[in-house]
Amino acid sequence: MQINVIFFGVLSDVVGKNMLTIQDTDNMTDLKRKLITNYPDLIDYTYRMAVNQQMVEDNHRLFDNDIVAIMPPFAGG
């Protein structure tokens, strides 16, 4: 079971890359916990998570090879 995670904006600086894979997780709450364990600074940021291009809530189920996108709001203009 593998989930691909992509990061936008400032979050790619926080994790140091645009994309990574997380193994053995089947829901968003657990995925979020795993990410925060690896990248504790994430906890201070505001972001929304999408699965296969649909914004979802924390309790969403995940399936093998799902693509999770994590995006912060941008301020600039």
Partner 1 sequence: MNLNKEEIQYYHRHLILPQIGKTGQQALKKANVLVIGAGGLGCPILMYLSGAGIGRIGIVDPDKVAVSNLHRQVLYGFSQVGEFKAEAAVNRLKDLNPNIVLKAYAQRLSSKNAVDLVSQYDVVVDATDNFPARYLINDICVYLDKPFVSGSVDRFQGQVSVFNFTDGQGNKWPTYRCLFPKPPAPEKAPDCSQNGVIGVLPGIIGNLQANEVIKMICGVGEILSGKILIFDAFSNQTMQFSIQRNEQAVQLALQNASDFGSFDYEYFCSSNQQKINEISAVDLYKKLQNKEKIQLIDTRSAREFQVELPNSVHISLNDLQANIDKISRNGNKVVFYCDHGISSAKAVRMLQNHHNLKNVFNLKGGLAAWLKKEKIEQ
User: Which residues bind to partner 1, rule: CB under 8 A?
Assistant: 8-10, 44-46, 48, 50, 53-55, 69, 71-77
The nearer residue to partner 1, 1 or 10, going by C-beta atoms, is: 10
The nearer residue to partner 1, 24 or 44, going by C-beta atoms, is: 44
Q: Smallest distance, Å, CB 4 to partner 1?
A: 13
Q: Smallest distance, Å, CB 24 to partner 1?
A: 25
Mapping DSSP onto H, E and C, the string for 48-71 reads EEEECCEECCCCCECCCCCEEEEE
Question: Which residues does 70 contact at the CB level (< 8 Å), separation at least 6?
Answer: 5, 6, 7, 8, 11, 35, 47, 48, 49, 50
